C-alpha cells in the first residue's frame, strides 16, 4: 500500500540521531541550538524557537501574542483542529472564516467578513503547501484591525515561497510563523514544531512559555541576588521542550529540504502531465509548481457527476494499492465548534465545497517512479473505467 504521505529517513538521518544519543545531552543541548539556527537561516528569520509539536508551537505563539479571554482569533475553516484549538486553550474565542473552494485558502474576501474590533489574531494557513496571499492579507489586517497579530500556520509549507520569492517562514508579513515536524510533513522529527520570528522579545517569551514560564534573566528577577541556582516564574508556561534526538533528526532532514521539495515538484509535474483531461476531475493549479512546497496533492472530484461516492473511490484505489486521505472536514463543523457557535454548513460554502470534492493522493519524496506510475494508472482507471461506473450505479 502506498500511503498518502510518509517520512523519508536515510542513513545520514540515522547516524545523526545515534550521534545525539551518544552525546552528553538528551534535551536542551547543542542539537537544539543547531536546529534553531539552521531553521532561522532557512526561513530568513532572526530567531527560531523549537518545541515538541506544531500544536505546542501554535499555543506558544498565541500565548505570547497576548491572546486570552474576550479575544477573537480568526482561523480558516479548512485546517487541522490544532489551529483553532490552541486559541481555546487560552480561553479565547475562535472565529472561522470561509476559504476559496478551489485552493482551500483564506483570502482577503473571506477574511474581511470575519474582522471586527474583538479580533486580536489572524492565522492564515498555507494549506497543502501553497502560500496565502500574505501581502494583501497583511494590508487588510493593518487597515481593519491594527491591534491584531498575524501568525501564519505554515505547518504544511516549509520549503515553499511567498509570491515575491521570499521563503515561507520569513516573518515578513507576520509576527510569527509556526511549523510542524510530524512524520507526514516535509521535515520529520518524530514529533516537533517551531515558531520563527524577528522579535527578540517574542523569542524570549516563547522560550519561557516552552519551559514552565521559568526565567533566570537577571533583569527580570525580583530577587536577582538570591544565588546562581535561582529561577523565577512570573506567568505559568508548559513543558514543550523537544528532545535532542528529534532536533538532530530535524537538522539532518532540513539539510535535504531543497532536494526533497524538488522531488515533490517532479512528482507533481508528472501528476499534472498524466492526470489532466479526466472528466469530473480538477487538479491543483500548475502555476504553483515553483512556489508551493507541495505537502499534499489535492484532487477535486465531482463525485455526484462521476456517479460514485468518495468512500467507494477510496476503496477502489486501495484495492489497487493506493492510499488516500481527505483534507479537511471543516473544523467549524466539528461537533465541539458547531455546538459552541451554532454553525451551519451554509456559513462556509467554500470550505464545504472544497471538502466535498477533495481527495489527497500519495506524495512524498521517496516515492519511486514505479509507485508514481502505479498511482497515475490507478487514478485513471478508477475515474474513467465505464464498467466500474456502471457496476457502482447499478
Ligand atoms: C495545518 C496544521 N496546523 C497544525 C498542526 C499541528 O501539528 P502537530 O501535529 O505537529 O501538533 C498540523 C498537523 O497536522 C497541521 O496540519
pLDDT in tens, 322-360: 999 999 999 999 999 999 999 999 999 999 999 999 999
Ligand 1 nearest-atom number relative to CA 184:
14
* Percentage of the chain lying above the pLDDT 70 cut: 98
Q: Which atom of ligand 1 is nearest to the CA of 55?
A: 11
- Domain residue extents for the chain: 11-254, 257-393
Mean of pLDDT values over 208-218: 97
Beta 176-180 vs 149-153: how paired, if at all? Answer: parallel
Cis amide linkage into residue 328, ω under 30° from 0: yes
Q: How far is the CA of 273 from the centre of ligand 1 (A)?
A: 30
- Report helix angle 257-275 to 244-254, nearest 10: 60
Element (H, E) at 172: none
Whether pTM > 0.95 for this model: the answer is yes
Q: Fold match between 11-254 and 257-393? A: no
- Which one of the listed residues 34, 185, 270, 318 is annotated catalytic? 185
Band of pLDDT at residue 390, cut at 50, 70 and 90: very low
Residue from 25, 369, 322, 5 nearest 187 by CA: 5
Say whether pLDDT at 182 is over 50: yes
Domain 11-254 has CATH 3.40.640.10: yes
Is 152's C-beta closer than 6 angstroms to any atom of ligand 1? Answer: no
Helix (H, G, I), strand (E, B) or coil at 35: helix
Å from CA of 180 to ligand 1 middle:
6
Q: Is 185 a catalytic residue?
A: yes
* pLDDT band for position 388 (cuts 50, 70, 90): low
Helices (H), the chain: 11-22, 30-42, 54-64, 81-89, 108-112, 134-144, 200-210, 244-254, 257-275, 303-306, 310-319, 335-341, 349-357, 369-384, 386-393
Q: Establish whether residue 208 lines the binding site of ligand 1, counting it when its CB lies within 6 angstroms of any ligand atom.
A: no
Question: pLDDT digits over 78-103, tens only?
Answer: 999 999 999 999 999 999 999 999 99
Question: Does any ligand 1 atom lie closer than 6 A to the CB of residue 107?
Answer: no
What is the C-alpha separation between 296 and 195, in angstroms, rounded? 22
Distance 123 CA to ligand 1 centre (A): 13
Ligand 1 pocket mutation, candidates 59, 179, 180, criterion most atoms within 8 A of CB: 180
Probe target for ligand 1 pocket from 82, 123, 126, with the most ligand atoms within 8 Å of CB:
82
CATH class belonging to 257-393: alpha beta
The reply to whether ligand 1 has any atom less than 6 angstroms from the CB of 156 is yes
Whose alpha carbon is nearest atom 16 of ligand 1?
80
Amino acid at each position: 500500500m502506498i500511503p498518502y504521505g510518509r517520512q523519508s529517513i536515510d542513513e545520514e538521518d540515522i547516524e545523526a540521531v545515534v550521534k545525539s544519543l551518544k552525546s552528553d545531552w538528551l534535551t536542551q543541548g547543542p542539537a537544539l541550538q543547531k536546529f534553531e539556527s539552521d531553521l532561522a537561516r532557512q526561513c530568513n528569520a532572526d530567531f527560531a524557537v523549537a518545541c515538541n509539536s506544531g500544536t505546542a508551537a501554535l499555543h506558544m505563539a498565541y500565548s505570547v501574542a497576548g491572546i486570552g479571554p474576550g479575544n477573537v482569533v480568526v482561523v480558516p475553516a479548512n485546517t487541522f483542529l490544532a489551529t483553532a484549538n490552541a486559541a481555546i486553550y487560552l480561553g479565547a474565542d475562535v472565529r472561522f472564516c470561509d476559504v476559496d473552494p478551489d485552493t482551500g485558502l483564506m483570502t482577503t474576501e473571506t477574511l474581511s467578513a470575519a474582522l471586527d474590533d474583538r479580533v486580536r489574531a489572524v492565522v492564515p494557513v498555507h494549506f497543502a503547501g501553497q502560500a496565502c496571499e500574505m501581502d494583501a492579507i497583511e494590508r487588510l489586517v493593518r487597515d481593519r484591525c491594527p491591534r491584531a497579530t498575524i501568525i501564519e500556520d505554515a505547518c504544511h509549507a516549509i520549503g515553499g515561497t511567498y509570491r515575491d520569492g521570499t521563503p515561507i517562514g520569513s516573518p515578513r508579513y507576520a509576527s510569527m510563523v509556526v511549523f510542524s515536524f510530524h512524520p507526514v510533513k516535509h521535515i520529520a522529527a518524530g514529533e516537533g514544531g517551531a515558531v520563527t520570528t524577528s522579535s527578540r522579545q517574542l523569542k524570549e517569551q516563547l522560550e519561557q512559555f516552552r519551559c514552565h514560564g521559568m526565567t533566570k534573566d537577571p533583569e527580570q528577577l525580583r530577587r536577582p541576588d538570591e544565588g546562581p541556582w535561582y529561577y523565577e516564574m512570573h506567568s505559568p508556561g508548559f513543558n514543550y521542550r523537544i528532545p535532542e534526538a528529534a532536533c538532530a533528526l530535524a537538522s539532518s532532514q532540513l539539510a535535504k529540504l531543497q532536494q526533497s521539495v524538488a522531488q515533490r515538484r517532479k512528482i507533481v509535474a508528472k501528476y499534472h502531465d498524466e492526470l489532466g483531461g479526466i472528466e469530473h476531475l480538477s487538479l491543483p493549479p500548475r502555476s504553483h509548481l515553483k512556489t508551493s512546497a507541495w505537502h499534499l496533492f489535492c484532487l477535486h472530484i465531482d463525485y455526484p457527476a462521476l456517479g460514485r461516492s468518495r468512500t467507494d473511490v477510496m476503496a477502489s484505489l486501495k484495492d489497487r494499492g493506493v492510499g488516500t486521505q481527505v483534507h479537511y472536514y471543516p473544523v467549524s463543523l466539528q461537533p465541539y465548534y458547531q455546538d459552541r457557535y451554532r454553525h451551519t454548513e451554509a456559513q462556509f460554502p467554500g470550505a464545504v465545497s472544497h471538502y466535498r470534492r477533495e481527495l489527497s493522493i500519495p506524495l512524498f519524496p521517496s516515492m519511486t517512479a514505479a509507485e508514481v506510475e502505479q498511482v497515475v494508472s490507478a487514478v485513471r482507471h478508477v475515474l474513467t473505467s465505464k464498467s466500474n461506473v456502471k457496476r457502482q450505479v447499478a
